[in-house]
C-alpha cells in the first residue's frame, strides 16, 4: 500500500515547488488547496485496509477545511482588496525554486541525521521538513499579507505531515481543537487583511513599517 502514499507525497512536494515558482496569487491559492486535499487524503491512504471511521471523517474534515474553506476565505480577501493579483516577491521565482531545491536537499539531510523517528514510511518525514521550510520561506520572502497567510498554511501542512511521520495517536478532541484554532487563525487573518486594506488602501506588508525601535 505504499504506492498511493508515495503518489500523494510527491504531489505535496510538487505543489510546494509550483507555489514557489508562481507569481499569480490565484494560482498559489489553488495550489495551496490541492496540497490541502492531498494532505487530507494522506492518513486515509496510509491506513490502507485498516481504515477506521475516525480516520476517514478527520480526512474529510481536513479536505473541507483546507481544500474548500480556506481558499474561499483567501479569494474573498483578494476580491475585496482589489489587488493586482501578483505575488510581488522579494525573491523572484527562479531564485525561489533554487531555494526549494536546497530545502529538499536539507530536508533529506535532516531526516538522515535524525534516524530517531519510528520506522514509518521513509518519505514522510523529509516531505514534512521540506514543506515546513517552504512555508517559512514564503512567509519571509513575499510582500503581500495574503501570501504570508498562504505561507502559514503551507507551514501548518508540513507540521501535520510531521505529526503523521511520528505516528502519534493524537486524541480526537485535541486534533479538532488544533483544526479549529487553525480555522479561526485563517479567519482572523482574513479579517485583519480586510481591515488593513480598508485603512491603508493596500495590503502590502512591506509598507507596514511605521513601528520601529
Partner 1 sequence: MNPGWILPLVLLLPALLAGAALVAPTRRAALRLVAWGTLLCAAAAVAAASLALHRSGELTSLGAWLMVDALSAYHLLVMAAVFTLSGAYAHGYFREDAESGEMSLPTARRFAALWFSSMASMHLVLVSNNLGLMWVGIEATTLVTAFLICIHGTPTSLEAMWKYLLMCSVGVALAFMGTLLVAASTHGSGVEGASALLWTELRDAATRLDPKLLKIGFLFLVVGYGTKAGLAPMHNWLPDAHSQAPAPVSAIFSGFLLNAALYCILRTLPLVEALPGNAGWGREILVAFGLISVLVAAVFIIAQHDVKRLLAYSSVEHLGIVALGVGLGGLGHVAALFHILNNSVSKSVGFFCAGSIGHLAGTHDMRRINRVTALSRVWGVGLTGSLLAIIGAAPFALFLSEFLILYAAIQQGHTFIAAIFLAGLALVFVGALRHLISITWEPLTEPVETHRGTLLEHALVFVPLTALLVLGVWVPAPFWSLLERAARVLGGAS
CB-neighbour burial class of residue 62 (10 A; exposed 0-12, middle 13-18, buried 19+):
buried
Cα 22 from chain centroid (whole Å): 15
Could you give the C-alpha distances from 144 to 50, 105, 175, 182, in angstroms and in order? 43, 28, 30, 20
- Rounded to a whole number of angstroms, the minimum distance from the CB of residue 189 to partner 1 is 6
DSSP string, 71-82: HHHHHHHHHHHT
Q: What nine digits make up the cell of 18?
A: 509550483
C-alpha cell belonging to residue 81: 482588496
Q: Is 137 in the site for partner 1 (CB under 8 A)?
A: no
Q: How far is the CB of 112 from partner 1 (least distance, A)?
A: 15
- Any contact of residue 213 with partner 1 (CB under 8 A)? yes
Of 196, 202, 204, 206, the one binding partner 1 (CB under 8 A) is 196
Quick one: which of 166, 150, 163 has its CA closest to 39?
Answer: 163
Between 85 and 177, CB nearer to partner 1: 177
Instruction: Single out the segment in contact with partner 1 by CB under 8 A; choices: 41-49, 67-75, 87-95, 202-210.
Output: 202-210
For partner 1, the closer CB: 53 or 211: 211
Q: Answer yes or no whether residue 166 interacts with partner 1 by CB under 8 A.
A: yes
Retrieve residue 173's grid coordinates.
Answer: 478532541
Which residues sit at the interface with partner 1, rule CB under 8 A? 114, 116-118, 132, 136, 139, 145, 148, 152, 155-156, 159, 162-163, 166-171, 173-174, 177-178, 180-181, 184-185, 188-189, 191-192, 195-196, 199-200, 205, 208-211, 213
Amino acid at each position: 500500500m505504499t504506492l498511493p502514499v508515495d503518489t500523494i507525497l510527491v504531489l505535496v512536494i510538487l505543489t510546494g515547488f509550483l507555489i514557489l515558482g508562481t507569481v499569480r496569487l490565484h494560482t498559489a491559492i489553488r495550489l495551496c488547496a490541492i496540497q490541502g486535499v492531498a494532505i487530507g487524503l494522506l492518513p486515509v491512504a496510509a491506513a490502507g485496509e485498516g481504515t477506521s471511521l475516525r480516520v476517514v471523517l478527520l480526512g474529510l474534515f481536513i479536505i473541507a477545511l483546507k481544500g474548500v474553506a480556506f481558499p474561499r476565505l483567501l479569494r474573498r480577501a483578494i476580491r475585496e482588496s482589489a489587488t493586482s493579483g501578483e505575488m510581488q516577491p522579494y525573491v523572484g521565482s527562479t531564485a525561489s525554486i533554487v531555494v526549494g531545491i536546497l530545502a529538499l536537499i536539507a530536508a533529506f539531510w535532516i531526516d538522515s541525521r535524525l534516524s530517531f523517528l519510528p520506522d514509518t514510511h521513509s518519505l514522510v518525514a523529509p516531505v514534512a521538513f521540506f514543506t515546513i521550510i517552504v512555508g517559512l520561506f514564503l512567509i519571509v520572502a513575499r510582500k503581500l499579507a495574503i501570501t504570508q497567510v498562504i505561507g502559514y498554511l503551507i507551514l501548518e501542512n508540513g507540521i501535520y505531515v510531521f505529526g503523521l511521520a511520528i505516528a502519534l495517536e493524537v486524541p480526537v478532541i485535541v486534533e479538532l481543537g488544533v483544526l479549529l484554532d487553525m480555522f479561526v487563525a485563517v479567519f482572523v487573518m482574513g479579517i485583519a487583511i480586510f481591515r488593513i486594506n480598508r485603512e491603508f488602501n493596500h495590503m502590502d506588508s512591506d509598507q507596514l513599517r511605521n513601528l520601529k525601535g
